[in-house]
Structures are given as structure tokens and as C-alpha cells.
Structure 1
Amino acid sequence: MGRIMDVRQLEYFLAVVDHGGFNRAAAALYLSQPSLSQAIRTLERDLGSELFHRIGRRAVLTEAGTALIEPARTAVRGLKLARASVEAVHGLRGGRIDIAAMPSQAIEPLTGMIRRFATAHPQVSVAVRAAFTAQDAAQMVRTGVSELGLLAGPRDLPLRDVEIHPLARQRFVLLCPPDGPFPPGAAVHREQLAGARLIVGQPGTGMRGYVDELRARGVDLTTVVEVEHRVAILPLVLAGVGLAVVTDAWRPLAERTGLSVLALEPATGLDVCLISRRTALTPAARAFLENAAPADGAAP
């Protein structure tokens, strides 16, 4: 029987999974590629199973490798929790917290949250990972890729096996170029969008869900661009390519670029929340949750 594996081997294994191969994982870990390969082979020998198929320079997970991912994340997260809990006896003087955030919510409320957290705990770093849909964020939290998730969705969004921490509601608004079809400051009824050319997000996003619902109601719309890269939305609207439905998290940034931001009627939006695993959190994650909501009367 092989010796007991150590957590560092599991960290190396997860690095290969998360970075998509041995070379990139070795660079991220500041290891030589042969050293990393040897560590993984030792882990495979201890487990009695191959974890990756080596296909040229590619590393493809075997069935055994896939089965190891979640237990490995649990073990690595548990060690980090133990270390962080001991360090917290002397206050939060270091460490890092990982947050999976959807693009719109990464503008706000995440910016305000990080500002408040960094002010209270300046020695703790925050790593933000991209999650394009609410289900992406939930899966990253469930599997331990991130300790917290920030997402937005309808009130009945099914989120299994996670703790939900409600924050706020974000209303949908319409982004138009300065010379757009609607007068500045006027609310736009959804039926007035008939014939509009729209820039939309990919399926599974709130902005796409709003547009799909309009179509289901019989409002005739044209999709001119479907974009995963949200940073492209403002330039596309400014260039006159089309209009865009987004949440009002975008309002301050859009108005600074000169776009017109109009309310949509009837008012509807998405509920924003933080999520966490239903297990013990690191002290840094608990502190982030405590700092998440702005003080009464403070700007988000």
C-alpha cells in the first residue's frame, strides 16, 4: 500500500486541472515541469490509478482524475481553513479570499465591497474569478474553486447546496447612444423596443433572459451582437451598433462615457446575493460577508 498522500500533491493536481496542462501549471506554481510531472506520477502511484491521459502536450483527465477533483478541493480548502483560523487569533494579517463574480456584479456591488473590505483588512488580498452565469458561480463555490460567489438572478433561481446571503435588487435599464431613438431621461416601456437592434449576452445571463422574455411576449427584436465579453458592450453602444439592456450596476460607468441610461417600464430586475458553501468559512471570508452590506445611507 502506498504512503499517505500530502496536501501539496493535491494542490499540484488541482493546478494542472485549473490551468489546463502541466506547463502552465508549473509556471503558476514556480516549479519546473519535470518536478511537477514527477509529483503527479507519485500521487498516481500512491492512488493506484492514472489521473491524466498524456496526449502529446495535453493532459486529459481520466475517470479517476475527475473523481478526485472535489475531494482534493475539500482537502486543500480544509487545510487553508485550519491555517487561516490559527492566524486569525492574531487578527487578519494576511491571506487571500477567492470570489467568483458575474460580470455586471463585478462592477457593482463588488467594487464597493472590496473597497470596504480592503479598508478594514488591508493585508488580505482578494482574487476575483469570472463566472458568466449564476450557475457558473454556484458551481465554482460548490466545488471549492472559490470560497464565495457573487451573482444575480430571478427570485426563484435554484441554487443547491450553497448558503445564500441576500444583498440588493438591481433594476434593468436601457443603454442608448447620445443620439439614440429615445429622449434622454424618459422611461422606455418594453413595448417601445419593438424593432430595436440589440446587443445581448449569452444564454443563462440576466440581460439575455430579459430580451428572451420580450420576444416571448411578441415584441419583435433584432439581435445584432451576442457577446460574452461585457467590456465590449459600452463601446458597441457608443459606436451605434445597437442598444443594450443591462442592470443599473452599469449606470455610473455608462453615464461617464456619454451614454444615455434610461429606465425600463414596467420595472423589473435581478436579486443580487453572495453565496458560500454550507461548511465552515475562513476568517477572511466571514469578514468579507460582514463587510458586504454598506452602512445605512452609504453609497453601494
Structure 2
Amino acid sequence: MDVRQLEYFLAIVDSDGFNRAAAALYVSQPSLSQAVRALERDLGSALFHRIGRRAVLTEAGKALIEPARAAVRSLETARASVASVHELRAGRLDVASMPSQAVEPLTSLIRAFSDRYPGVVVAVKAVFTARDTVDAVRTGAVELGLLATSGPLPEKEVSTTALERQRFVLLVPPGDPLALRDDVSCEDLAGLRLIVGQPGTGIRAYVDSLRERGIAFEVAAEIEHRVALLPLVLAGVGLAVVTESWRDLAGQAGAHVLDIEPATALNVGLVSRRGPLSPAATAFLSTARARTPHT
């Protein structure tokens, strides 16, 4: 068994098939299949059920995913450690982020990090819930995760760096009667048409809590693609409750941003796996802590 075989195995898992994996790896499919067969012989177990052109993981294949990611990550860490001698002039850092936090503070964090380490590529993976973020870090799919939660930041399975709190605000299109105001109360949301996110997110939990309190609003749209949220507001489909990470972007696009009273906020933090991190991840965490007054 070698790391190249594990990389091929993970590429098939992540690409959902041999054809796409071969294209992503720039290798021929026969070469990829041969490497996987060699890995299966070494392990003494089939990793995939080959059904036509599909590759379905066996139980053994499922069991291999997490240790394979850990092995590949360990090699990447070793390579990055060598690169750190040259002050991180090259490399890659994988970060998972929930959608609103990808607007801010991730934009500012990447800008500060890239200013200092322009040769390191920051690759951002989309996740939608705090649980998804923790799982991505815990299993080694990424090294760092940026998440937000209405409760305490997670600490049991990962190491956590608290960054900031983001209060909830209301996005209103130009011409809406509420656009003349600076803030609204929770009760003012009654009867409004709102664009909401999918269950499991902090924003959805907040608007659901309003309904539980008897504040009846209409759902104009439910979206997973947070990039569509602002265009939908500007098109007049509905209003949207978001975190204040959207404030500057929404204002530049022409939307009005109103504070919701009483103020309610999400806790935002960076999570990392326990144990040694790559130099790039360590440097990124240092960048985050440097811009956070209370850490």
C-alpha cells in the first residue's frame, strides 16, 4: 500500500466514480483501476461494487475513508513542513465554511493571510451546518472550519478559536416601506414574506424560534444556495433575516440593512483538529487570532 493508491481511492470517493476521478487526476482509467485493484489485494478486501459504470462503496471501502484521509493529510503535513522552511512560499490550505461566514469573516481572514503568504492557495469547501463543519475537520476532509452557532462553540471533538459574534439583521429591497427605518422589532416581522435557509442552520433556527413565539410570517422561498439570497431580496421576492456579515455586501448591492431588536447573535469560531497542524493551518489560525481582540 502507498499513499498514491489512497489518493486514487479518495478521488474515486469524492468524484463519485472512476471516470471523473481519472479526469480529475489526469491519469487513464485503466491505470486508476489497476492501482485500486492493487490496493484491494493489499487489504484483502474489495473496496467498491462495480455496477455498470458506477462504483458503490463496500463496507470495507466505507471503513477506509477516514484512515485514508488521515494518512494523506499526514503526508501533506510533512510536505508542508518542508515548505515552511521557505516561509510558506507554496502550498494549499483546505478550509470549510458555512455560507454567511464565507462572506465575513472569511473574506477578511483570507485577505490578511494571502497578503503575508501569497503562494499558499486557500481552498474553501462549502458546508451548511455547524455539525457538517465539525465533521469535515474531524474526518480530515479539511484542516480548518469556520462555523456559527447560537449555542456554545464546539469543544469536544475539535479545538476551537472564538472569533466574534454576529447579530441578526433584516435585508430589505429598495422601495420597501421598511427601507426608511434603521431597525425593526421581532414583532414587526409578523405578516412579512421571508426568504429562509434550510433546516440545521443558525439563521433558520432563529426564524423558526420567532414562529414558535407566535410571530407568524410567510415563507416566500427556502434556499440552500445562499448566493441566491441577495438577488431574491433585490428582486422583491421577499425579505431575509441574515447575520450582519452580509451588511456591507448587501448595502453595496442596493439593499437596506435593518437591525432586529432585541439583538440576538450567533457565535462564530474557527475549529481545527486536535494535534499537530500543517504550517499553513497554524499560520492561518495565528492570522485569525491577531485580528480578534478578545483572543
TM-score, structure 1 length as denominator? 0.95
Deviation at 1:200, TM superposition (A): 0.2
The yes-or-no answer on 1:77 pairing with 2:73 is yes
User: Aligned match of 1:150 in 142, 146, 158?
Assistant: 146
Matched with 2:32 is: 36
1:132 aligns with 2:128: yes
Contact 1:184 1:262 in 2 (8 A): no
Any runs of at least 4 consecutive aligned residues in structure 1 with deviations exceeding 6 A, and if so which? Answer: none
Alignment of 1:207-246 (within 5 A): 207-246=203-242
Distance in 2 (CA, whole Å) between partners of 1:134 and 1:159 is 12
CA pair 296-63 structure 1, distance change in 2 beyond 3 A: closer
Give the distance between the partners of 1:160 and 1:14, measured in 2 at CA. Answer: 27
Distance 1:98 1:38 in 2: 29
Q: Secondary structure at the match of 1:279?
A: coil
How far off is 1:185 after superposition?
A: 3.8
Which sections of structure 2, spanning at least 5 residues, go unmatched?
A: none
Residue 279 of structure 2 corresponds to 283
Report the equivalent of 1:206: 202
- Normalized against structure 2, the TM-score is what? 0.96
The amino acid of 2:75's aligned partner reads L
Letter in 1 for 2:63: A
Q: Aligned residues, how many? A: 293
What is the match of residue 172 of structure 1?
168
**Which residues in structure 2 correspond to 1:59-74 (within 5 Å)?**
59-74=55-70
Any residues of structure 2 matched to 1:241-260 within 5 Å, and which? 241-260=237-256
Residue pair 1:148, 1:274 contacting (<8 A) in 2 also: yes
> How far, CA to CA, are the matches of 1:48 and 1:54 in structure 2?
17
Deviation string 1:169-189 (CA, Å, 9 cap, x unpaired) is 111000011122314342100
Q: Distance in 2 between the 1:181 and 1:205 partners? A: 28
State the superposition RMSD in angstroms.
1.4
Report the Cα distance in structure 1 between the residues aligned to 2:176 and 2:213, rounded to whole angstroms: 24
Helix, strand or coil for the counterpart of 2:176?
coil
Measured against aligned partners, the alpha-carbon deviations of 1:160-218 in whole angstroms (never above 9, x if no partner) come to: 41111110011100001112231434210001111111100000111111110001101
Alpha-carbon distance in structure 2 between the residues aligned to 1:285 and 1:94: 13
Post-superposition offset of 1:64? 0.2
Q: State the percentage of identical aligned residues.
A: 66
Answer yes or no: is the 8 Å Cα contact 1:185–1:261 preserved in 2. Answer: no
Letter of the structure 2 residue corresponding to residue 196 of structure 1: L
- The letter for the 1-side match of 2:14 is D
The answer to whether the 8 A contact 2:153-2:269 is kept is no
Segments of 5+ residues of structure 1 without an aligned counterpart are none
- Describe the superposition over 1:120-144 as per-residue Cα deviations: whole angstroms up to 9, x where unpaired: 1111111001011111111110110
* SS, match of residue 35 in structure 1: helix
Q: Judge conservation of contact 1:138–1:159 (CA < 8 Å) in 2.
A: no
Are residues 239 and 43 of structure 1, via their aligned partners in 2, closer, same or farther at CA, if it must alter by over 3 Å? same
